[in-house]
Each structure stands twice: as C-alpha cells, then as structure tokens.
Chains A and B, each alone.
Chain A
Amino acid sequence: MDFALNSDQQAVLEAVGTLLSRHAGPARLQQLGGDEPDYDHDLEKRLLEAGFLDLATTRSTCRLDAALVLEAVSGALGSCAAGWRLLVAPTLDTDLPGPVALVPDGRRGPVRFAADADAIVVIGSPVRLVRPDRSIARVRSRLGWPVGEVRELPAGGDLDGVDPAEVRTWARTALAVEMVGAMQLALDMTVRHVSDRRQFDRAIGSFQAVQHGLAECSVAVEGARWLALEAAFTGSAAAAAASLTHAVDASRLVFGRVHQYHGAMGFTREYDLHLATMRLLALRSEAEALGSPAAACAAEHWTI
C-alpha cells in the first residue's frame, strides 16, 4: 500500500496542471458561456495532442493514472468529454477521436455532450455505436456543461465483444472521479472565502459552526476521492458502485454547505462558485441514469 504519487504520476499531473491552468479554469468556462457553455474543442485537442487523454489505451491497462488526470480536468472545469476518453474508451478498444456522449439504453432527455458528439455510445445489451444525424438540439440548462436533448436515436451498430456491465462500471467510476474534482474545487473556493471574509471583527471561518461544517465536507470529499481512485485502480464493479454512491451523497452535503458559507455572493451568476456546484447536479442525474448506484452497490455485495 502506498498512497503517495509516484514520480511518473507527479510529472504527469504537473504537466497537465500547467496545461489546464492556461487553457481551462473558471475564466475559460465563463468565456465559453458560463453555466451554458460550448464544448471546448480547443482544450480537448490540446489534451489529446499532449497524450494526456490516452494514458490507458487497452482494457488491461491500469486506469489509475487516467483517473488522476480526469480529476484534474474536472477540477479545472474542462468542458469536454474527458471522462469518456480517459476511463471508458479503453474498454471498447475502438478509436473514436472526437467528442463522444454516453447514453444508457432507453434514456431520453438531457445528456451531456450529446449535441456536440460525433458518436454516441449506447450502453445496452449489446453496446451500440450511433452516429447521430446532426439533429440533436442543445438544451437550456444551468449545469455548466454543454447538454443535448436525446430523443429517438438511430439504431447504430453493435459493438461485438463489449461487455455492457464493464462499460457501466467505468462510466460510474468516471462520474465519481469527476464529482470529486468539482467538489474539491467548490470546497477550495469556500475555504478561501471563509478565510478572507470578515464579519463581527473576525474571519467567518473562525466560527466553529463553519469549521465543523467544512471539516465534514472535507472528510466526505476525501472519502469520495479514495473510493474513486480505488475503483479506477481495481476496475471492480463493486468499488465503482460504492464510490459513485458515496460521491453522490457527498455532493449533496457539499452543495448545501459551500453555498451556505458563501452567503449571497455564492448565488450570483457573476461569481464562479455555481460553475462547480451546478455541475454536480448534472453528474448526479447521470449517475442515476446509469441505474441507481446504491442499488448497484447492494447487488454487487449481496445476492438477495
């Protein structure tokens, strides 16, 4: 057991951090439209060219490093389908270069990246690959992601030999990792805010009520992080379901607390907090769309 980053991981995270600090972040997302952003093709291209999205290319490669990069991209509010490419694509062994959306079979309604996707992977039995006719419309949302409205999809082609359960597992892990990135960003912004903001002649972060509230958030996010990284490390379906269940629970706690401690500033569109927090709702909704992660968790642990 060793929870420290090895030198390769350190080097990758440092390099991807530099790229993200230049080409992603809240200011970049605001530039792309804020809570209703465009797809960031430029960021995706840069990440691809630098090789950061292809750290795991085959089913058998350990996807831990890929998960670490995904957490960083999410923490920088990257507006592209990095979760797909980093963690899910290796399961398919199919090279799909452009934006890809993941849709559970039968799902109708808002789907992340659907309006921008060159290809849609439908998670059913069998797993199918659909090339959307260009008619998927953008949805008005305040979620901080480009979202498309999926209605009827063309049949597409079956992806033989791809296990839908395995796709689902990696989709869950990717969501958990993305939630961790967004929660950590929101938490970091809040810790900064309560340290700077003074009322009653003291920093509001010196009030025990605020300290305890944020300490609980910190524990919840840490727990979510290690569960998600463990899921990426092991590739286990049970770990994926557990990590996503915990991330979803943690996101409820974090959402409420970070907004509360920001006071009025936190619910203005001018301030960046909502760019991180609104995303959590989209990710949560996607988590449920894959089938309740809590139910999956139970199914993985007990045969009742």
Chain B
Amino acid sequence: MNFDLGPELTEFRLEVRAFLEDFGDIGAFFHHEDDYDVATRRLYLALGERNWLALAWPVEVGGEGKHPLFEFVLWDEMARSRAARPPLGSGIVAKTIIRAGTDEQKERFLPGLRSGEIFFSLGYSEPEAGSDLAGLRTRAVRQGDVYLVTGEKRWTSGGHRADYLWMLCRTGTQESRGRGLTILIVDRRSPGITVSPLTALSGERFNEVFFDEVAVPVRNRIGTENGGWGLIGESLATERHVQFPPARVRRDLDDLVAWLSERGLTADPVVRHRLSDLAVRVAEVEALALVMCEAVQDGRDAAVEAAANKLAGSEVAQEVARLAGDLGVPDSVVVGPQIEYLWRQSISETIGGGTSEIMRGLIAGRGLDLPMHR
C-alpha cells in the first residue's frame, strides 16, 4: 500500500501551481459573471497553449497521452487556487467525439477544444427531467439532412455564452426512455433558439433554453441515432476523477480558519472543537479522493468510489460554509466576505452534477449490492 501519487504527478502538481500564480482567485471557479469573459478565456487559452486541456487525450488526436490522474492533479490545483472548473468541451465533449465521432467531426471540433477557443454548454437537464434524465422530452425529428429540435432545456450553465450546446435529444418514443436518445451538437446561434436567464442564489447565471424547430445538420450527430444514452454513460466514466476536486474543501477550510482567526475567534474552545471536526471531515474527503484515484489509476470503473468522493466532498463543502453562520459571526451574513458567498454557493453542490440522493442510491445499489426497489 502506498498513499503517494508518485514523483511524476507530484512534479506536475508543482508545475501547475507555478503556472497558476498568474491566475488565482479570478472568481471563475464559481462562475462569477463579471470575471468570466475576460479572465476565464485568458486562462483557458493559456491552458490551451500548454496543451493542458488535452492532457489525457490520445497523442494521435493532438493530446498529451497522459494518464487521467494528470487531469485530476490539474483540476485539483485549479480548485485550490479557485481558478476554474474543468470545461465541458475538453472533457465530456472531446472525449466522446474522440471515441465515437467521425473523422470530419474530430477535425471540426477537436482543435478549438484543445486550444481553449470554443465553448460548449451541457444540454441534458429539462424542467421535467433532472435526476431522471432518461425521461427527457426535447424532441429531434429527422427531416432529410437535418434534425428539427423542439423543446426546452434548463439549468444550462453558460448557455448564454457558449458557442455550442451538447444536447441529449429524444429521437425514439417517450416510452423508450434511454434507448431513444441521441446526442446532437447544436450551434447556439441557430435560428429558433431563445435563451433566458435563471439566477442562482450565488449569483451564477443558469439558463432556460427554448428550441423551436431548430435545424441541426445530421453531420452534427455524435454516434448513432438512439445511441446517446450509452455514450453519455461512458463519457461520465471518463470525467469522474475531475468531478469534485478535494482541494476545493481544503481551500474552503483554510479560508474559514483564516477568516475566523482575523476576527480573534479561533481561541474559543467551542470554535476550535467545531473546526477540528471539520478538519477531520476534510481529511476524509481527501482520503476518499485518493481511493477514487487509485481505482482510476488501475483502470477500474470507479463509479462507486467517485460517488463517495462527490457525496462526501459536497456535503463537507456545505458544512464548512455553514460554520461561520452557525457560530453567529455577525458579518458572516452580510454580502461581501467570501465566507458569506460560500454559504450561498454551496447549497448547489449537493444538487448539481448528480444529487446526494442519486449518489447514495448508487453507493447502495452498486457498492453494497442492495436490491433495487422500483
């Protein structure tokens, strides 16, 4: 047994830290709208220049051919410096195109994704399909060389600024559920698309995106018609190791301790007790992340390990964010300090990207092999 990531990854971690000295704390990690366009684009382009958006892509499509754990280290450090979260484009989108796309699609999309120049937004969730994604209703009807897409997507982060939407659409009957879904790449500027904002308590902008017979060329379909469900399952498996970086909660705790310390509160025994409880929880999150990394390193499926990592990480993020309010620190409830912001922001962590309930179900069903009740 060995708890070390090894010399190569450790060296890479230091390299990333050095790189991030120019980019930390730009707020893009939390999708602050004001910062997003300028700062985040600059960061993604700089990552692109180093080819770090394609760390684990195969060499033959322009990638670095590194082990996925390099991606874990990169996005863990990005979380620590609060620089950015992994973009959808170079992750799920690119990896699915690499696996299932045509040569023409690879040529059309991969260079821009690798360089950080093109942005994708995820079009999965709908008003009536969140946790139960296989029930989605946005319909794509084939008509000659195009699909006509009609319906509504919701919670599309970045949907107002993305170049493309990575959409899961219904091409089979409603009853066919997962067997009747198809992936389409939709140009966000296509006629028939309307985007309207939904604002999260954190200030992050989500969107409702409406589609009214939007024409999407058949050449923008990834994989086969009705073959989307299997592809998105596989693509999730390729991104589990970057879904919830443990450095996020380590940084949250460090910031909390510093903030309480500035206010002279860390000598209080009650405060110390609560902080040490949190420190143990953060250590647990880091340990669970290593367990997940080991599974990824050995090429195992890692679904259960990743679910445990996401469940623990997101719950602990909330506990850390809520401590200052629990203690009744006056300015923890005033807009301004990061501590107050984290409290609002962390509400979404146990919901987005798979709710805690879905994670628990997965751990119970696949990890403990408990019988499923439907």
A263 touches B330 (CB 8 A): no
Give the total of A residues in contact with B, Cβ under 8 Å.
40
In the complex, what distance in Å separates the CA atom of A266 from the CA atom of B374?
A: 26
Residues of chain A within 8 A (CB-CB) of B357 are 207, 209-210, 260
| Cβ-defined partner of B128 (8 Å) among A198, A207, A292 | A198
A263 touches B131 (CB 8 A): yes
Q: Is A140 an interface residue (CB 8 A)?
A: yes
Identify A260's interface contact among B135, B155, B325, B350, CB under 8 A: B350
Q: Which residue on A lies nearest to B204, using beta carbons?
A: A267
B333 to chain A, nearest CB (A): 5
Cα(A147)–Cα(B326), bound, Å: 19
Instruction: Enumerate chain A residues within 8 angstroms of B200, measured Cβ to Cβ.
Output: 267-269
Contact call B322/A252, Cβ cutoff below 8 A: yes
Choose among B322, B331, B374 the residue that contacts A110 (Cβ–Cβ < 8 A).
B331
Residue of A nearest to B374 (CB): A200
Query: Which one of A141, A199, A284 has the greatest number of beta carbons of chain B within 10 Å?
Result: A199
Tell me the complex Cα distance, A260–B130, Å.
13
User: For B336, what are the chain A residues with a Cβ–Cβ distance below 8 Å?
Assistant: 140
Asked whether any CB of chain A lies closer than 8 Å to the CB of B121, the reply is no
CB within 8 Å of A: which of B241-281? none
User: What is the bound-complex CA distance between A75 and B59, given in angstroms?
Assistant: 61
Task: State whether B335 touches A281 (Cβ < 8 A).
Answer: no
Q: 0/1 per residue, B188-215, Cβ < 8 Å to A? A: 0000000000111110001000000000
Closest CB in chain B relative to A298 CB, distance in Å: 12
**Cross-chain contact B325 with A281 (CB below 8 angstroms):** yes
A268 with B335, Cβ < 8 A, contacts A107-B330, A263-B355 known: no
Q: Is B328 an interface residue (CB 8 A)?
A: yes
Instruction: Indicate if A139 sits at the interface (CB-CB under 8 A).
Output: yes
* A8 CB–B CB distance under 8 Å: no
Residue among A260, A278, A282 with max Cβ neighbours from chain B (10 Å): A260
* One of B199, B318, B374 near A268 (C-beta < 8 A): B199
In the complex, residue of chain B having the shortest beta-carbon distance to the beta carbon of A200: B132
A267 touches B360 (CB 8 A): no
Q: Given the complex, which residues of B lie within 8 Å of A287, measured CB to CB?
A: 328
Count A-B pairs with CB separation below 8 Å: 100
Interface of B is mostly: mixed
B334 near A: Cβ within 8 Å? yes
Count chain B residues whose beta carbon lies closer than 8 angstroms to a beta carbon of A.
41
Residue of A nearest to B129 (CB): A199
Which residues, 233 to 273 on A, are CB-close (under 8 Å) to B? 252, 256, 259-260, 263-264, 266-270
- Contact indicator per residue, chain A 269-304, by CB within 8 Å of chain B (1) or not (0): 110001000100110110111001000000000000
How many angstroms between the C-alpha atoms of A282 and B340 in the bound complex?
Answer: 12
Q: Within the assembled complex, what's the spacing in Å between the Cα atoms of A76 and B71?
A: 49
Across-interface contacts of A68 in B (CB, < 8 A): none
In chain B, positions 323-353 with a C-beta closer than 8 Å to chain A are 325-336, 343-344, 347-348, 350-352
Instruction: Known A199-B131, A285-B328; judge A141-B333 contact (CB<8 A).
Output: yes
Identify which of B333, B348, B374 contacts A285 (C-beta below 8 A): B333
CB-CB < 8 A to A285: which residues of B? 325, 328-330, 332-333
Chain B residue numbers with a CB within 8 Å of A289 are: 328, 330
List chain B residues, Cβ under 8 A from A109: 330-331, 334
Q: Is A29 an interface residue (CB 8 A)?
A: no
Q: Mark A196-239, 1 if CB is under 8 A from B, else 0.
A: 00111100100101100000000000000000000000000000
B199 and A270: CB pair below 8 A?
yes
Measured in the bound complex, the distance between the Cα atoms of B343 and A274 in whole Å is 13
Residues of A close to B154: CB separation below 8 A: 264
Q: Is A108 in contact with chain B by the CB < 8 A criterion?
A: yes
B334 near A267 with CB under 8 A, answer no
Q: Would you call B150 an interface residue if the criterion is a C-beta within 8 Å of the partner chain's C-beta atoms?
A: no
A142 part of interface (Cβ distance < 8 Å) = yes
Q: Say whether A100 faces chain B, with CB atoms less than 8 Å apart.
A: no
- A288 engages B331 (CB within 8 Å): no
Tell me which residues across on chain B come within 8 A of A260, comparing CB atoms.
350-351, 355-357
A287 CA to B132 CA, complexed, in Å: 40
| Distance of B276 from chain A, by nearest CB (Å) | 19
List 5 A–B pairs whose Cβ atoms lie within 8 Å, in order of A's numbering: A264-B351, A266-B351, A274-B201, A284-B328, A288-B327
**15 additional contacts (CB under 8 A) given A110-B330, A270-B198, A285-B333:** A140-B335, A142-B201, A142-B344, A149-B334, A200-B131, A260-B355, A263-B130, A267-B347, A268-B206, A270-B199, A282-B333, A284-B328, A285-B325, A288-B327, A289-B330
